[in-house]
Amino acid sequence: MFLNIKTAFTSIIKSSTWLKDEEKNLIIDKAEKIVLKTGYPKEVIDKDLMEKYYEGVEIREGQFLLNAANISRWTMRKNLAYITKTYIPDDYFINPTIINAYYIKYNNIVTFLTGYLQFPFYDLGHDALNYGSTAFSVGHELHHAFDTQGLMIKDGKVGDWWNITFQQQFDNRKKCFTNKYSQYGWGNIKVNGNRTIDEDLADHGGLRTSLLAYQNILKLKGSELKLPGFENYTSEQLFFLSFANSFCMETTEADKITLVQDVHTPLNFRLIGTVTNSEEFSRIWNCRNGTKMNPNEQRCSLW
Ligand SMILES: [Zn+2]
């Protein structure tokens, strides 16, 4: 799946009408170097490695406060060593049972934790469903290598890797997304499109990439088996049903205020923001011009 996403991403970059050849090469080169880590760190199932990992932490029976302080000290030292690069982690940073995936900018690593690679996000038994859900997330994480911060880093070094023309074009395209997402919200509780831009770009790129990767698979297979109960839907429509399903959420009034303060746009607007900017979505669902999901307005596009 990861390789299929990389292949789809490469063809999207190659087909870009505004990127210059040398910029395409830089982007493709970085994408090819992205390493995927899945599951959990090896010390989880190896006692010796676990002992080594926690070397230096003093734990005494019955001394809970002291133990907590010792663990905090050990964690802080480890984090500081990472900043000075005297310690390069083969680390998952967070508990592998958490349902999450992330991109580490300096190391160019995408990590999918065990907690994520489970039903209902993964192992859905059907490529349309797996690609609409997990492959989208893979594409999303991959795009963090090319968001505002990601673009500043190449081979682990921060630098000015892009010329003025690229930067201007990129910023203009970003602005389209920022303006659109800033209109989303509940009454006066609005999304801050400037804050969420990197996540919104990753969503947009993730959807485009995972859909193309799935369409490539479909071409190879010819067709997919029908899903019982969903026989009237095409495979591409199933992809979108799975995509939308992973954005389901329940919101209370109090939640709304907190949700718009996050770097992620609230899930329902993430869904609307991605599909309304997808030409493919309108084609696949036969959305007429001027309908809610195919509004009469300029679509935003990154590449
Ligand atoms: Zn993200």
Burial of 152 (0-12, 13-18, 19+ CB in 10 A): middle
**CA 174 to each of CA 66, 201, 236, 287, 292: distance values in angstroms, whole numbers, following the listed order:** 49, 8, 28, 25, 22
Cα of 9 vs centre of ligand 1, distance in Å, is 17
What are 128-137's pLDDT values in tens digits? 999 999 999 9
Max Cα-Cα span within the chain: 68
Instruction: Show the 3-state SS of 51-84.
Output: HHHCCCCCCCCCCHHHHHHHHHHHHHHHHHHHHC
Residue 88: what pLDDT?
Answer: 55
The yes or no reply on domain 2-40+119-284 and CATH 3.40.390.10 is yes
- Helix (H) / strand (E) containing 113: strand 109-113
Cα of 46 vs centre of ligand 1, distance in Å, is 31
Residue 17: what pLDDT?
Answer: 94
Residues 6+ apart with CB under 8 A from 28: 10, 13, 14
Q: Where are the domains of the chain?
A: 2-40+119-284
CB 169, CB 231: distance < 8 Å: no
- As a whole number of angstroms, the distance between CA 135 and CA 117 comes to 11
Cα of 86 vs centre of ligand 1, distance in Å, is 27
- As a whole number of angstroms, the distance between CA 166 and CA 164 comes to 5
Residue 260: what pLDDT?
Answer: 93
| Termini Cα distance of the chain | 22
Catalytically active residues, by annotation:
141, 203
Query: Three-state SS for 153?
Result: strand
The pTM (predicted TM-score) of the whole model is 0.89
Residues of the chain whose pLDDT is less than 70?
85-91
